[in-house]
Amino acid sequence: MAEIIRKHTGARMSQMVIHGDTIYLAGQVGTAGAPVAQQTQDCLDKVDALLAEAGSDKTKILSTTIWMADMADFAEMNAVWDAWVPEGHAPARATGESALATPDYKVEVIVIAAK
């Protein structure tokens, strides 16, 4: 059985868990209260940093789940997402609407990637 490595671990969760050649990221959020585009970019910047720490990058993302506080902001979030995803490397993705941890958060991005 492959070792399980947990990084940036607190009492409630780890920001990243690596099992074998698979990387699981906790939900990443942006700057509370910032516009949707900025929150989305903040989330993606955190994803980039965590994947780099694990020895991976966004071309190796397998699946992404995006939660939005309001689907009315879908186009604004997608504009940032589309500019970030490398051509030919779009992962499987789902986007849904949900109340997030605080009303100041508008976007949360959850990623599973390969090493």
Helix (H) or strand (E) holding 84: helix 74-84
Residue 21 is given by DSSP the state T
pLDDT in tens, 21-48: 999 999 999 999 999 999 999 999 999 9
Under a CB-based contact definition with an 8 Å cutoff, are residues 39 and 29 in contact?
A: yes
Residue 1 corresponds to which amino acid? M
Structure tokens at 83: 């500019």
Helix spans in 1-73 (H):
36-53
Grouping H, G, I as helix, E, B as strand and the rest as coil, residue 104 is coil
Which residues 6+ apart lie within 8 Å of 28 measured at CB? 42, 43, 44, 46, 47, 50, 108, 109, 110, 111
| 1-14 mean pLDDT | 94
pLDDT in tens, 58-107: 999 999 999 999 999 999 999 999 999 999 999 999 999 999 999 999 99
Structure tokens at 44: 């993606």
